[in-house]
Every structure is written in structure tokens, then in C-alpha cells.
Structure 1
């Protein structure tokens, strides 16, 4: 029996090439049981005409399905569903289960149920017309073509070992070499391979640092700061002292005397975007030395210094190995990459490597090699320059619109960045404001999650401009002003 050609429809939003989408359409029909073994498929000519594609595209799709034993060819008769075609396993619906385990008593530690840090970002944020959110990739700026080429190279036979082998606790030498010889020197940092560890993004790097340095110890953090850092420290049982920041970032003299570890974001303070001046950087290192403390430097957004050259990294001023440096490619490439790195003295990196190996061995080899190819071929630097030009243009539009509507800017990066830290009138709860603005297709990030303590300021909010085109900014700001 022949399968009617009208049965076949290409999903309009499906990803991939036409050939891949046709393969997927046929394979799913077989796996779902709609196309049965022995049934004849439409001819390549008939299916091509029905779908509005070239005949060679359908022929190539059928050929691939033939090679994978989904289809079989019978001389001049055509293509049929193979008798050996894979089939989805059939599972009976499970019987209702009555839970008898008292999980409240069984769980030794809890991680869920803490503060939610979606920062006003719903899963469908890209469907909003005015997404003033931070840290998401603008597909119009990303270099899809060259990333795809680098990924294909990383999947080739030349890179077979990097792709397939379990390296235990080792990192991709090409990626480490690029970081050591190119990325870090631009921040004034000289490091050997045994002082570098690849991580699953900055979040993983911070987790490693917290586990190794802060368990049940006195820790100083900026206030406001990255909310997930406070959550990591709470899980480790650290004694956290929030240190209020001002227009120039962390104040070294305010770090408490008992502090053993200091966390800071000196390049673009999170979330205020303040940049720590050189004098304060030197004072912070002196304060840490006097306390016998170490400093964890999250070099947040240093690549986005498009207005002026970035200030030297704190690690570049470190003469006694006191600074642990956290870097990431996830923000400048795309958040889903989850690729970052730690830089520190060999004893620290040795322990961090062992801890990482006990949890996840190493980041996926093909991801590391793809990134290494993208970086070493110069695509990364070109991408960062393109993003910097776009952000500079968007920032100019943002600042003009904010000034025109009389909105108050509480902080903006002197060197660049991708957001403005804003302050609403004191009576405004920006959590409620953010919720109300969603009905107008506007997304903003409430500021209260960035602050420590039970009584936090409610009037701050952050406006990111990395994910919104310039021509929509003015109207979006107008809607925010009207809501205020």
C-alpha cells in the first residue's frame, strides 16, 4: 500500500536544511507508527513537487534514510519502509504510585526552593518586542557561518581524539594555549598552562572557588552583587559580609577585619557597571594582604569596553598569587556555550582540577576544540568588535531616550558594558513594575534580587541593551516612562 503524498508536511519552524527536515519528517513518521513496514513512499519526483523542493533534495534524504535502514529500495519499483526499520518502544502507562518515602527526612541537604533568579526573563523572552534584558545573544550579531565551520572541523577525523576521548581531568591544549598566549596577555596577565583550568562557564568557576576557599569562612561580597554567588556561599555555609559599593565599586577599607576571601567584579561591577579605579585596585590588594585573604576576581564584561580601553585586571597587579581570576567566553559568544576558565596559583588550580574531575571530569572535548578553532582563526576578535560597535550605537540611543523621558540612571559603565543600572522613584516597587510591563511586551530586570538582607531596596532596575535592536529602544523606554 502506498503512503499518500498529502501525508507529508514540512514543519514551518523546524530547524536544519531541507534535506535534514525531510529525513526527520519521514523518520518520525516511521518511529511513530504512522508509516508501517512494507508501505511504499511517494516517488522522489512526486514528493518534491508536493513539498516545493528540488528532486535532488528528496533523493539525498531518501538515500540517507536508506543507509540507516529506515527505507529499502526495490529496483525500479521505488522506496519502501524497511522491514528492519527502527521502531519506538511501546510502554504501558505506569500504574499510579503512592510515595512512601519521607523526603523531608531523607534529603541530607537542600538546594531547591531558594530565591528565583530569572531576573524578569521569561522562557519566551525573544517573543517580546522590547526585551531590556541582560546576557542573551542577539542572533543578528552572532557569526553563525564561521562557528558552524569550526564545529565541523572539530567533528572531523583530525580532531578525533579531542572529540571522543575521556581526558579525565585534562583540558584541550589548543584552547589553553590560546587563553595563555592571547586572551590573558590582553588583560596584562601572564600564566602557564598549570595555572589555567577550563570550566563550564563562570558559574562553574565560581562554584569551584567557593567550595575550595569559603566553606564556613568569613567572606566579603559586593552589595549589590550577582545573586547566584550569594546562593553558592549560603550553600557552603560561608559567613557572608555584604560590602556596599559606591560609584567607583568596592571600597577596600570597608572589608571586615575577619575576612578570608573577597569576591569582586572590578571591570564592570555587577549590576551597577561601576569600574574600580587603579588606586582602589591597589588598595584592595594591600587590604587583602594585610588580612591574609585571597581575592576572587570575576572579570565580568571586560570584552565590552568599547568606549575606552579596559582597566588592567586585578590579577595583572597581583605579585604574590593572591588573586583567583574568573573569565568566560559564554557572555561574549553565547550563554549556552557554558565555557569559562580559572586562573590561579598551581596549588589552587591543582585542587580545582581534582574537584572538577570528581563532578564532571572535563567540559566536552568537541566544545573546547570548536571554541579553540573559533578563537585561533580570529573570528572571536572580529565578533567582539562587531558586538562592541552595535552596543555603542544602542547605548547612544538608550541614553538619549532615557534623558528625554527624565529617567534616573544610577550607574553606567565608563568603559562600555551592555546595561544601565536605573533608579525609579522611591515609592515604586520595580518587581511589580516589571510584571505590569510584560502586558506591553516590555521586559526589565528588577533590582531587588541583587541586594542582600531581608529589607532590600525595591526601586532599582536594570536595562540591558544587548538583545534589543536600536530602532525599538526609544519606544520601549517611552513605555517604561509612561508606566512609571
Structure 2
């Protein structure tokens, strides 16, 4: 790799001859790790012209560095950083000599301190990765995704690849969402009622920014998707958590006044509870009485391999009160970061303007590739294949959990990709989780999903999307063993069987 000539500059207050300054500049680049072994330096002519010095001065400096084994010359190729050059120190690049800014006063707002989970980057190397939201490479349709990506790179789609859509989206992707995806959930929408987002989380952030102020009140489920709670805390709105039960969010527990209600009726996150049709209608009636809006996060609706899901809450809405959030990221692959918002035109118009001021629009090539993957039927085939595999894994996991006597707190009646678990109350999952990693088992502690300071620490989530069926039972056995150690005795093992589902 060639080092750009713009990387080189002489300090205006440098001491010594020009030749010495050039030698010091290059040597410091090597010692700091900026210039790496084997990288090619610019030619002496180009370097001299850039620095504004004579070529002979540069040549003498390079020759001296070669003699000191910092550089090596190759016939007709120029100078390269020598393989024998001194090794840079093991610390990172140095910043300013001292930071004089009082950042406690300079920062107008803080966004750290949330509950973003930490997952090992090498999670796939663990034999039992029961972590949520990861893709199993054995299930993904690499060939057809590659084919669609190449098709999107073709001359016919040059405009979609290179154009700046400003605040608009790929019309092919919008058309598929409007004509195929939403009708499956009982939703009819026009193109100006749909906005493509960078995943569901981005859709929830846009929604919170447009709808909430410091004087407004938002209702969330407890437990709930921790990233949503972080978004709402950052918005500085008033936050009211409502405990969910075995049917999800209970409308009768809602406060007398709320401005926005966030809910996951089809597949509650993380308990997997499904809200019955009668409760959905009651929730709509309660929201209408309060003149509140509802934000419906319909995640994982397509992974319904046990039976067909109920119609979306949005499909029952006759007043434009429900804002619908969907995503392709979980079903295709998480790194795709493609989701969508569906709502009234006035709402979508404001979200579109906010999105444009932050990121304009999701990359055109990604949108067009996804549009082809969806419209050519590859997406439906992928979902069917996932459903078949997940059915087997789900059955295997439920059998293993029953054999080990582990307490299940919630399982999706339609499918999904995870099971919500509850350990005995004297077990702190945050203490067990590191020991599980040591034996190759990855789980997701459940306390980040809860609101408040005294959050229960005996819940956890087990996903089966990335674990082959034959590894599930051995992994669950290791999990049960570590949980038993955490209890300190086996006398109360049977009590976990008595735990009832939410």
C-alpha cells in the first residue's frame, strides 16, 4: 500500500536542516505506527514538490534512512518502510499533550449510561451461542443475495446506486412494502405513508423525536426493549412503565393520561407474550379516550412457524392513531439495518424531514438489493426455511429445558426465535453469565429489559436462531449445571418447575 504524499508535512517551528527535518518526519511516522512495514513512500520527486524543497534534499534524507534500516530501496520501485525498521511502541496514537476542556460542563447532553448489551465479536466461535438476533450462516441465502447485489450494481440500476434521493426512498422497495409486506399484516398504506429507516431502532428514535417533548408522557412496557427505553430517557419525556402480564400490556393499567404508548402486541419483547384480539381492541379504545397515539413495534411477525399471527394492531385502527414499525434486519440479517415506519402522512412527512437532516436516506444500493431479494421471492423462501429449522430447534430446546427443570417465564405462541427464562430468585444471572462464557455458553441477562433501580437479576433470554439443534441439549445441560452451582444446593431444584409463565 502506498502512503499518500499528503501525509507528509514539515512543522513550521522544526529545528535543524531541511534534510534532518525530513528524516525526523519519516522516522517519527514509522515509530508512531502510522507508516507500517512494507508500505511504499511517495517518489522523491513527488515528495520534494509537495514539501517545497529540492529533490536532492529529499534523496539525501531517504538515503540516510535507508542506511539506518528505516527504509529499503527496491529496483525501479522506490523506497519502502523496511521490514527491519524499529517496532512502534505498544500504546495507541497520542492525542493532544493535555486536554484542557472541562467536558463535564462542555457536554450539553449525555447519551452514555444506557443498557446496550455487550456481545462478544467472536460469538460464532462459541459452541453454544444462545444469544438473540444473530444470523445462522447455514440458513442464509448467500447465492441469491449476491445475485441481487450484482443485479443492483448493473447499468440498468445505475441511478438507484449513485443518486442522492435527498429525503426519498427507493420506489421499488416502497412498492414491495406497500403491496406485499403490509397487506400480510392487514395494513393498507400509500407510498407517502411509508418511510424506510436504518432498522427498527432508528424508526423508534425518529418517532420519539417527532412525537415527544419534555412535557409529554410516554408509556412503555415493563420489561421492554432496553434500547427503546434508552431512547425515551434521552428524549427527556415523562416515562411511565406498565408491568406486562401473560397477554402483554394491560389497557386497564394505563395511566389516566398519556401522549404516546409504545407496545409490542404480536410478540412482546422480551417475554414473547401475544396480546389477544379483545385486548387489542380495548387498548385502541383506551388510547382513543385519552387521545393518545400508539407505536406498534411488530418485530419477528414473519417468524410465526407455530401458527399464523393475529392481524397487526395497525390493521384494527380506523383513526390513524397507530404508528407501525417493521424491520427486515432480523429476518434477513441484522447488519442489513433496514426497517420502515408506517403512519399518517403528516407524521411521515416530519419523520422524513428529520431523517434527511441526520442521514438523508439509507444507501440506495442496499435498498435496491433488498427490493430485488424481496420481489424475486428469495425472502419468502428464506423465511420458510428459517421456520422449518426453528420449529425443530424450538422443540429441542423446550425438551432440554424440561429435562433440566429450568423455569420458563415466557414463550411465543406463534414462534419467534427465543424463550424468556427465569432462574430461582437467589440466582444473579450477571454473576453466572461470565462463568457460562468460560464453558462456551452465551446467554443474555434479563435485567437490562426492566425499568427502575431494583431490577430483578434472575431473568435471562435464550435464543435458538444461531445454535444447531444437536448442540442445544448439551448447552442447556451446561447452563443448568452452572445455575445449580449458583444456588449452592440441589434441594430446591424442583421449585423452578413450579414457575408459571407470564
Range into which the TM-score falls when normalised by the shorter chain = 0.7 to 0.9
Residues 410-438 of structure 1 show CA distances to partners (whole Å, capped at 9, x for unaligned) of 10000001011111011001111112211
Partners of 1:161 and 1:468 in 2: how far apart?
A: 40
Partners of 1:200 and 1:170 in 2: how far apart?
A: 14
Q: Is the 1:37–1:81 contact (alpha carbons within 8 Å) kept by the matching residues of 2? A: no
Residues 76-128 of structure 1 show CA distances to partners (whole Å, capped at 9, x for unaligned) of xxxx99859999xxxx976862111222211111112x13421x622221111
Q: Where does residue 431 of structure 2 map in the other structure?
A: 432
Q: Where does residue 366 of structure 2 map in the other structure?
A: 367
Find runs of 4+ consecutive structure 1 residues off by over 3 angstroms.
30-38, 80-87, 92-96
Q: How does 1:434-473 map to 2 (within 5 A)?
A: 434-473=433-472
Partners of 1:385 and 1:354 in 2: how far apart?
A: 36
Q: Where does residue 203 of structure 2 map in the other structure?
A: 205
Q: Is the 2:131–2:466 contact (alpha carbons within 8 Å) kept by the matching residues of 1? A: yes
Partners of 1:34 and 1:226 in 2: how far apart?
A: 47
Partners of 2:146 and 2:201 in 1: how far apart?
A: 25
SS across alignment from 1:249: coil
1:33 is aligned to 2:38: yes
Partners of 1:190 and 1:81 in 2: how far apart?
A: 69
Partners of 1:459 and 1:98 in 2: how far apart?
A: 44
C-alpha distance 156-290 of structure 1, shift in aligned 2 (>3 A) = same
Q: How does 1:395-406 map to 2 (within 5 A)?
A: 395-406=394-405
Q: Is the 1:37–1:83 contact (alpha carbons within 8 Å) kept by the matching residues of 2? A: no
C-alpha distance 37-240 of structure 1, shift in aligned 2 (>3 A) = closer
SS across alignment from 2:421: strand
Q: Where does residue 162 of structure 2 map in the other structure?
A: 164
Q: How does 1:296-375 map to 2 (within 5 A)?
A: 296-375=295-374
Q: Where does residue 51 of structure 2 map in the other structure?
A: none
Structure whose CA Rg is larger: 2
Q: Is the 2:264–2:297 contact (alpha carbons within 8 Å) kept by the matching residues of 1? A: yes
Partners of 2:357 and 2:133 in 1: how far apart?
A: 29
Residues 332-367 of structure 1 show CA distances to partners (whole Å, capped at 9, x for unaligned) of 001100000000000000000000001000000000
Partners of 1:340 and 1:172 in 2: how far apart?
A: 13
Q: How does 1:58-137 map to 2 (within 5 A)?
A: 97-112=97-112, 114-118=113-117, 121-137=119-135
Q: Where does residue 150 of structure 1 map in the other structure?
A: 148
C-alpha distance 178-86 of structure 1, shift in aligned 2 (>3 A) = farther
Q: Where does residue 293 of structure 2 map in the other structure?
A: 294
Partners of 1:462 and 1:450 in 2: how far apart?
A: 10
TM-score normalised by length of structure 2 = 0.78
Residues 300-358 of structure 1 show CA distances to partners (whole Å, capped at 9, x for unaligned) of 11011000001100000010100000000000001100000000000000000000001
Structure 1, gaps ≥5 residues long: 1-29, 39-79
1:178 aligned residue (173, 176, 179): 176
Residues 251-282 of structure 1 show CA distances to partners (whole Å, capped at 9, x for unaligned) of 01111111110000111100000111000110
SS across alignment from 2:97: coil
Structure 2, gaps ≥5 residues long: 1-34, 44-73, 82-87, 484-502
Q: Where does residue 50 of structure 2 map in the other structure?
A: none
C-alpha distance 84-351 of structure 1, shift in aligned 2 (>3 A) = farther
Partners of 1:110 and 1:429 in 2: how far apart?
A: 29
Partners of 2:392 and 2:157 in 1: how far apart?
A: 40
Partners of 1:235 and 1:411 in 2: how far apart?
A: 29
Q: Is the 1:35–1:81 contact (alpha carbons within 8 Å) kept by the matching residues of 2? A: no
Residues 223-253 of structure 1 show CA distances to partners (whole Å, capped at 9, x for unaligned) of 0000011111111111111000001101011
SS across alignment from 2:348: helix
Residues 157-180 of structure 1 show CA distances to partners (whole Å, capped at 9, x for unaligned) of 111111111110010000000000
Q: Where does residue 272 of structure 1 map in the other structure?
A: 271
Q: Is the 2:444–2:462 contact (alpha carbons within 8 Å) kept by the matching residues of 1? A: yes
